[in-house]
Structure 1
Amino acid sequence: MRPIRLPEPPNGSVGIPEIFEGGVNIVRRAIVIGNGFPGSENQSIGLIRALGLSDNHRIYRVIRPRGGYNEWLKWLPLSLHKVLDNLINQLLGQSRFAMKSQAKKFIPFPTQNGGIIGLSSIVEADAKHIASIAQDNFEKEGPLLVIASGWDTVSIASSIKRLAPRNVFVIQIQHPRSCLNRFDLVVTPQHDYYALTPQGQQETPRLFRRWITPREPPGKNVVLTLGALHKSDSAALRIAASEWHDELSPLPKPLIVVNVGGPTKHCRYGANLATQLSGALLNVLPSCGSVRVSFSRRTPQKVSDIILREFVDEPKIYVWDGKGPNPHMGHLAWADAFVITADSISMLSEACSTGKPVYVIGSERCTWKFSAFHRSLRERGLVRPFTGMEDLSKFWSYPPLNDAAEVASRVREALAERGWSLRR
């Protein structure tokens, strides 16, 4: 039986907290500006971990009004959305329409293991307050590192930079689609610049090219990654391997983990992909010891129903029902290979960080920058298409994807240019 394979910690000091000396030029604290969505917040936390600041950071969240009429306003800038929401509430008062909207308005945020966090336990991000913290404690605690991810966090993060430029170092994860000089660093996948490539230009009508962002190549303060940052680093996987040992280690090998996401704007699919996936899995089942299937919150019920119906009588296949602790981290640690739908950049990035075989289904259905992302993964030898003709007992490997460590190195360099450094 092949022993469990876990990624090795990166060489050097990246991601390893060390004893530090005093001084106002030492960064030893961080703040995460989140938007309540794990896919975004986990990127910031992953970078925090890679920088060795996981024991000294705090999370603030941008809280956008939700539910009812707010679903039509969510594309507006956050500040304008809040103003309109307040105005509508005042105008409508206690009308039936307002009460109906308010009944759905506050949606709790999900936690990593599938629970929920009520809004009462969330500290709302306030740029003036965070800038004041950075200024008031600068002489005692040094600079404040601010890491934000997602569209709703852009205005808060840039405001903190404007209010306390000498006391903060602000990193915006995901392209902010606006002036990049408002941040010290911008961390974004290289496929976000697909619109500037020759193929991207061909796919964009000339009339609309001036409206597509980004319109300029990445500058000095832009760090490009292949995939998405995440917090599933070597330390986290070793902990998960221990926590899930009793449940996952006895399973027959090879253990194949199947992660099913959901259709997106640029990766459209439905029941047809579910049927394709089910047939391919049944075809390769003889080469599998056991199979564990998980759905995401985005998985349409018609997709999950087809898969459940096809596998109900297969003793080798277990489908997680969404109850109890989320086995995702345990799956990453104990799997011998992965089969993942093409829609999720986060799931693919996490799986590719393990160095284990990753098979992708549905990439031919992806368009625009998603197709560029999948092409980059294949060119690096990180993934292979899942056709149902594979022998999943045959192992292959590659240098694990470690975007967080590479970004952390760039952060250290940028801090050094300002005369600052991370704690040693």
Structure 2
Amino acid sequence: MKPIRLPEPPSPTMGVPEIFENGANSVIRRAVVIGNGFPGSENQSLGLVRSLGLYDKHVLFRVTRPRGGINDWLHWLPISLHKLLYYIIRRIYSYLRFIASRRRRLAPLPSEKGGSVGLSSILEADSKRIVNMARESYEKDGPLLVVASGRDTISVASSIKRLASEKVFLVQIQHPRSDLSRFDLVVTPHHDYYPLTPQAQEQVPRFLQRWITPREPPDEHVVLTVGALHQIDFAVLRSAASTWHDEFAPLPKPLLVVNIGGPSCHCRYGMDLAKQLCTFLTNVLVSCGSVRISFSNRTPEKVSNTIIKELANNPKVYIWDGQEPNPYMGHLAWGDAFVVTADSVSMISEACSTGKPVYVIGSERCTWKLAEFHKSLRERGVVRPFTGSEDISESWSYPPLNDTAEVARRVHEVLAERGLRVRP
């Protein structure tokens, strides 16, 4: 009788069935993204989820503040308190209208989105919903990956971790300004720790220093990046190059792409920068085959109008009017060089992920953490200041910023330390 030959144990290189590992509950198969309604913030969470291979297996929840009117004065409050105060104010206003009109029935005023604002709209309801999702699907789908970004998502994300700590793995993007132990991992740029530098300590009055975040150096919970996370990688650029081929392939080279954001509290500018940009672009046109200009939704109308007036009639220049499909991805894929205003960490980070020349205008107007961000990019040789004397046909390169992939790699490492892994 021939001996019974048992099958060989699975090879590590071919993957180990879950039965040989810690069981089905050691595998993360889906994600929840908690956003705040701002593309620059949500894009970071979506970029990480994409890099982990879970983009097609995620659900987006959004925590948004009421906007307009008195809300512009309440935005500094924690979002739950902001919503509660807004609800109370609306109810009082509605009651006063009721008294004035002698109505018998009290009806809430419609919200900006057409619904009514009630206590159920306070964000704790979202945390409970996500916790229930994690608990109900744990046996079948394993732990839930939760990725949140932005100040307004902190309380709901940390509540989820507190209520279902063993069933979720929580990644908070951007420094949460709270106890880091409330999160499994915090992803934040180096310049978020600028307040700890001697230079920053000199800029902040002593009585305010204890309120400046962060107050301690990064610990094991923190993954530091150079810039912002995003969804741009070579696969995305290849796809965009194919999608926009017919429009961009015939353009004369080199193609200079100009991305214009808008002033912020740490990077203030107006007509002066617009006029300077027009002068510099006019100077470099001789070395350009084509120039494509795009504005963001934060660009002041007076800035965009000035640039349109000065450059729109030049045959080499095309300015996107915001009506046709957004060519942003096509610009990243087909652009030979980029000029980006200094206010946007996201647009600069995405341009620097291409490895192509990136020129920044307005960085000398930046202060505080944003100035530190630009300093770090210049020291790495990733960007150069736009002076108007550049030869755009001259190409130079650098190791592309790869923050999103590096953070995804760190997430895998931390999960492995806990006996977990991601399986799309």
TM-score, length basis structure 2: 0.88
After TM superposition, what 4+ stretches of structure 1 lie above 4 angstroms from structure 2? 18-22, 94-97, 101-104
CA apart distance, 1:125: 6.7
> Which is higher, the Rg of structure 1 or of structure 2?
2
CA apart distance, 1:95: 5.8
CA contact (8 A) 2:264 2:343 kept: yes
Residue 65 of structure 2 is matched in structure 1 by 64
Asked whether 1:82 is paired with 2:89, we answer no
Q: 1 CA distance for matches of 2:324 and 2:267?
A: 30
Q: 2 CA distance for matches of 1:102 and 1:187?
A: 39
CA contact (8 A) 2:90 2:109 kept: no
Q: 1 CA distance for matches of 2:409 and 2:381?
A: 24
Q: 2 CA distance for matches of 1:310 and 1:87?
A: 50
Asked whether 1:153 is paired with 2:160, we answer no
Change (3 A) 1:241 1:220: same
Report % sequence identity.
66
Change (3 A) 1:331 1:226: same
Residue 112 of structure 2 is matched in structure 1 by 105
Q: 2 CA distance for matches of 1:126 and 1:35?
A: 13
Equivalent pairs, count: 391
CA apart distance, 1:87: 0.9
Per-residue deviation, residues 278-328 of structure 1 (Å, max 9, x unmatched): 000000100000000000111111111110111132000000000121111
Per-residue deviation, residues 44-74 of structure 1 (Å, max 9, x unmatched): 0000011111121110111322222222212
CA contact (8 A) 1:337 1:357 kept: yes
SS in 2 for 1:170: strand
Q: 1 CA distance for matches of 2:256 and 2:110?
A: 42
Alignment of 1:334-373 (within 5 A): 334-373=334-373
Q: 2 CA distance for matches of 1:24 and 1:368?
A: 44
Question: Quick one: higher RCO (CA 8 Å, sep 6+), 1 or 2?
Answer: 1
Alignment of 1:279-358 (within 5 A): 279-358=279-358
Residue 198 of structure 2 is matched in structure 1 by 198
Unaligned runs of 5+ in 1: 1-17, 109-122
Change (3 A) 1:217 1:393: same
CA apart distance, 1:94: 6.5
CA contact (8 A) 1:171 1:186 kept: yes
Q: 2 CA distance for matches of 1:308 and 1:333?
A: 24
Q: 2 CA distance for matches of 1:164 and 1:316?
A: 57
Residue 144 of structure 1 is matched in structure 2 by 144
Q: 2 CA distance for matches of 1:312 and 1:402?
A: 35
Residue 93 of structure 1 is matched in structure 2 by 94
Q: 1 CA distance for matches of 2:41 and 2:330?
A: 21
SS in 1 for 2:230: coil
SS in 1 for 2:315: coil
CA contact (8 A) 2:134 2:168 kept: yes
Per-residue deviation, residues 385-422 of structure 1 (Å, max 9, x unmatched): 10000100000001100000110111111111211111
CA apart distance, 1:27: 0.9
Q: 2 CA distance for matches of 1:357 and 1:27?
A: 38
Alignment of 1:8-407 (within 5 A): 21=18, 23-93=24-94, 105-106=112-113, 126-407=126-407
CA contact (8 A) 1:62 1:124 kept: no
Q: 2 CA distance for matches of 1:281 and 1:125?
A: 51
CA apart distance, 1:23: 1.4
Range 277-286 or range 123-132, more displaced: 123-132
Q: Which amino acid aligns with 1:286?
A: V
Change (3 A) 1:104 1:387: farther
CA apart distance, 1:208: 1.9
CA apart distance, 1:212: 1.0
CA apart distance, 1:232: 1.4
CA contact (8 A) 1:32 1:59 kept: yes
The two structures, once aligned, show a CA RMSD in angstroms of 2.2
Residue 13 of structure 1 is matched in structure 2 by none
CA contact (8 A) 2:124 2:156 kept: no
